[in-house]
Structure formats: C-alpha cells, structure tokens
Amino acid sequence: MNLTRKQTEVLAGLAELMALEGKAPTLQELGDHCGIKAKAQVHTLLEALEDYGMIASQRYTQRGRSLTAKGLRYLQALRDHTSVCPVCNSSMEKQDDSNGS
C-alpha cells in the first residue's frame, strides 16, 4: 500500500514532532510543521491514516494520536529506500553497515 505524498508527510511529521516533544502535536502544530494551513485538511489526512491503520486516535482528546506498529514499519521502510526526509525534503544520513564490522 502506498500513501499519498501529503499522507506520508503528515505521518512523518507526526512521528518527528512526537519524538521532539514527547507528546502528539495539535492539529495546528502538525499543520504548521507540514506546511498545511487548514486544520480541516490535517484532520482529513489523519482520518485517512487512521483508516489505513497507520495511527491510532483516542476520540475527544486534543493530543490523542499515536503511531501504530504498521505506521512505524511504513516510515522505516520509507527511510530504508530514500535519503530525503518526506517532510522537509532535507538530506537524511543513511546508516552504512558495510564498514567491515
């Protein structure tokens, strides 16, 4: 299964912000991070990610989102196949295990 570019950006942004802040971002914070102005669009993208099983949401909770194992595996597979961050398009360091150890 392939997510759309925006869905991938939101999933990666959610993971990055959770790692940085230790909690899920608000819709506004996630939108700002991913360059999406409308909170409704962020919400729609998050609903699609939940439908795909990439994230889990606790209803009626402002920061009640978390990545599922499936979402984490998807992001890891993406990182394994690209050296560019899907959120900001910056170069990411790839692990090189061929150093003879």
What is the value of pTM for the model shown? 0.78
Q: CA-to-CA distance for 55 and 88, rounded, in angstroms?
A: 21
Beta-bridged to residue 56, according to DSSP, are 66
Q: CA-to-CA distance for 61 and 37, rounded, in angstroms?
A: 21
Average pLDDT over residues 63-82: 88
The residue count of the chain comes to 101
Q: Read out DSSP for 61-79?
A: -TT-EEE-HHHHHHHHHHH
Q: What is the mean pLDDT of the chain?
A: 84
pLDDT at 98: 41
pLDDT at 61: 83
Is 1.10.10.10 the CATH classification of the domain at 5-81?
yes
Per-domain residue ranges of the chain:
5-81
